[in-house]
């Protein structure tokens, strides 16, 4: 059976990249570090590499509960340290008495610098104290220092901090066990939100649902482990584990719910 049969058609390119990295580590006995990966990419990478080969994969995003993480593929006799992931923590100094910055504004301004989303990790915010921080790949530090000088129309100053100075991020959302008639997008969402499946289908068809940050308008779209479902006006659902079927043929899942 082909490895691609376990994944979506549009994930083939990512799987090919993972296989290429694995071959590199096997052939050179040298580690390979990735950019920041979303939860679905992490799931695929972990699945493709497996646990019983000569190559192992580990993840780190700056602290234990970050959503986006860098990965290191390495020979099984190596144990990467946190420093090996080359992650930089940045603090954003802004006129907090006069300005309220939002997550989307910060991410939008970072993306406006011309860098890929994969170069940035989680954005950390403590609005009660006016503290905003974010993680980034170390290799773009000089570029950020020179070019990231404002969010929207607001002037900012960047300060690089040690990782231990980060806002402590609590584990996102609440964990919940659900059973669904299938792994269809509408079926899974309707088991989490307090609305009917018909209402959920309308949300999807109206363009209010994204899967792994991509718009999905097909109610029959099949969910997989590691998927993040973003629902406009409600929040996000991350499929942590697909646990198998019940005696009645329903699918048992563990999800993490983050309300907006």
User: What is the pLDDT at residue 89?
Assistant: 98
Q: Are residues 128 and 54 in the same domain?
A: no
Q: Are residues 179 and 134 in the same domain?
A: no
Where is the domain boundary, 81, 103, 127? 81
Q: Are residues 157 and 215 in the same domain?
A: no
Q: Are residues 72 and 117 in the same domain?
A: no
Count of C-beta atoms within a 10 Å radius of residue 92: 22
Mean pLDDT score, 245-255: 93
* Token pair listed for 86: 């080359």
Strands 209-211 and 174-180: unpaired
Mean pLDDT score, 105-116: 94
pLDDT band for 1, please (50, 70, 90 cuts). low
Q: Are residues 57 and 107 in the same domain?
A: no
Comparing 188 with 260, the larger pLDDT belongs to 188
Alpha helices in the chain (DSSP H): 12-28, 39-49, 103-111, 141-147, 185-190, 197-205
Q: Are residues 71 and 7 in the same domain?
A: yes
Q: Are residues 139 and 98 in the same domain?
A: yes
Q: What percent of the chain has pLDDT over 90?
A: 79
Count of the separate structural domains present in the chain:
3
Radius of gyration, CA atoms only, the chain: 20
Q: Are residues 58 and 31 in the same domain?
A: yes
Q: Are residues 245 and 214 in the same domain?
A: yes
Distance CA 232, CA 203 (A): 9
Q: What is the pLDDT of residues 146-177, one digit of tens each?
A: 999 999 899 999 999 999 999 986 666 788 99
Mean pLDDT score, 4-15: 90
Q: Where residue 250 sits, what CATH number does that domain have? A: 3.10.290.10
Length of the chain: 260
Q: What percent of the chain has pLDDT over 70?
A: 97
Residue 42 pLDDT > 90, yes or no? yes
pLDDT band for 215, please (50, 70, 90 cuts). very high
Where is the domain boundary, 30, 51, 81? 81
Q: What separation in angstroms does the CA of 255 have from each of 26, 57, 172, 175, 238?
A: 34, 23, 11, 6, 5
pLDDT band for 51, please (50, 70, 90 cuts). confident
Q: Where residue 137 sits, what CATH number does that domain have? A: 3.30.70.330
Boundaries of domain holding 208? 174-259
User: What is the pLDDT at residue 171?
Assistant: 61
Residue 193 pLDDT > 80, yes or no? yes
Q: Are residues 157 and 183 in the same domain?
A: no
Residue 207 pLDDT > 80, yes or no? yes
Q: What is the pLDDT of residues 220-231, one digit of tens each?
A: 999 999 999 999
Mean pLDDT score, 71-84: 95
User: What is the pLDDT at residue 127?
Assistant: 78
Q: Are residues 229 and 183 in the same domain?
A: yes
pLDDT band for 4, please (50, 70, 90 cuts). confident
User: What is the pLDDT at residue 158?
Assistant: 96
Q: Are residues 74 and 91 in the same domain?
A: no
Where is the domain boundary, 81, 111, 126? 81
Q: Where residue 72 sits, what CATH number does that domain have? A: 3.30.1370.160
pLDDT band for 180, please (50, 70, 90 cuts). very high
């Amino acid at each position: 059976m082909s490895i691609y049969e376990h994944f979506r058609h549009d994930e083939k390119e990512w799987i090919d990249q993972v296989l290429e990295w694995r071959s590199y580590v096997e052939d050179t006995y040298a580690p390979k570090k990735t950019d920041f990966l979303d939860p679905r990419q992490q799931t695929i990478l972990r699945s493709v590499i497996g646990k019983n080969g000569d190559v192992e994969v580990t993840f780190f995003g700056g602290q234990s509960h970050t959503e986006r993480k860098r990965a290191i593929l390495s020979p099984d006799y190596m144990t990467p340290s946190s420093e090996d992931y080359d992650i930089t923590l940045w603090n954003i100094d802004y006129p907090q008495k006069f300005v309220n910055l939002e997550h989307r504004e910060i991410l939008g301004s970072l993306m406006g610098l011309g860098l890929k989303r994969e170069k940035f990790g989680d954005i950390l915010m403590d609005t009660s104290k006016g503290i905003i921080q974010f993680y980034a790949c170390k290799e773009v530090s000089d570029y950020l220092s020179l070019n990231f000088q404002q969010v929207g129309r607001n002037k900012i100053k960047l300060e690089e901090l040690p990782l231990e100075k980060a806002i402590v991020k609590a584990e996102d959302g609440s964990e919940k066990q659900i059973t669904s008639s299938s792994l269809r997008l509408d079926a899974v969402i309707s088991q989490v939100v307090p609305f009917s499946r018909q209402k959920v289908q309308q949300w999807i068809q109206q363009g209010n649902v994204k899967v792994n940050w991509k718009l999905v308008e097909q109610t029959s779209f099949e969910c997989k482990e590691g998927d993040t479902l973003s629902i406009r006006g409600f929040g996000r659902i991350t499929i942590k584990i697909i646990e198998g079927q019940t005696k009645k043929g329903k699918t048992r899942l563990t999800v993490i719910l983050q309300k907006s």
